[in-house]
Amino acid sequence: MVSNASDRPRIGITTYLEPATWGIWQREAALLPRVYLEAVVAAGGTPLLLPPIGTDPSILEMLDGLIISGGCDVDPAAYGATPHPETVDTRPNRDDHEQQLVHAALTKDLPLLAICRGLQVLNVALGGTLHQHLPEVIAHDNHRPAPAVFGTTEVKIEPGTLTNRILGDRTTGSCYHHQALDKIAPGLKVTARAGDGTIEAAEVRDRAFALGVQWHPEETPDDLRLFTALIRSTR
């Protein structure tokens, strides 16, 4: 572990590489919604941004924990599928970058929290697949009700799991996704579902703290339990 007991744990967070505008500039930039940073700081950590370029998994030696953030659709080629018409705006380079970091983190048992797309990347990295357009599976679009509008999902959590120890039997989360876990990767255990059956959380077996959730806990600033648990696991 990098940090001393008196230090704030260093938490790496994966970022987007996207066209962006600031001031008079319009250029491609590495970016991340501020709410991720605020959540890590409020939970007691120091956030460090990991752009999807120049990937070097050895950077994890400098970190105490890792967050795989949300974002665009995972490229179906990553799990051997043909793209659905609703699967758009993929970033294969980012997929590869984050899968490398996931494997490196699991190898060294680095505390890992995967959020929304991050849970999907975790499942794909370990050999699972995705539902490419969830409304065709569950017959509603409540998980992504409108462009840039978060939905609300009620989650039932399996007893005796890490997810349960952190969040209890049930929780409510802000969600924004149209894809979800389908075939579960070997070594991954489903720990929570929505009422419509959508997989909402999963954990990697035989790891101290490797947890993914399908909702966006960073969007609920008064509920830092997942981030606090991640920080505590580093100590």
Is residue 216 part of the annotated active site? The answer reads: yes
Q: Which of 116, 131, 175, 200 is catalytic?
A: 116
CA distance 161 to 205: 10
What distance in Å separates the CA atoms of residue 27 and residue 11, rounded to the nearest whole number? 27
Q: Which of 65, 113, 68 is nearest to 95 (CA)?
A: 68
Contact 143, 177 (CB under 8 A): yes
Reply yes or no on whether 218 is catalytic: yes
Contact in structure between 130 and 181 (CB atoms under 8 Å): yes
Q: Are 217 and 40 in contact (CB under 8 A)?
A: no
Q: Measured at the alpha carbon of residue 191, what is the angle toward residues 190 and 195, in degrees to the nearest 5?
A: 95
Q: Is 18 a catalytic residue?
A: no
Catalytic residue among 200, 203, 218, 219: 218
CA distance 227 to 218: 8
Q: How many CB atoms lie within 10 A of CB 175?
A: 24
The residues that are catalytic are 116, 216, 218
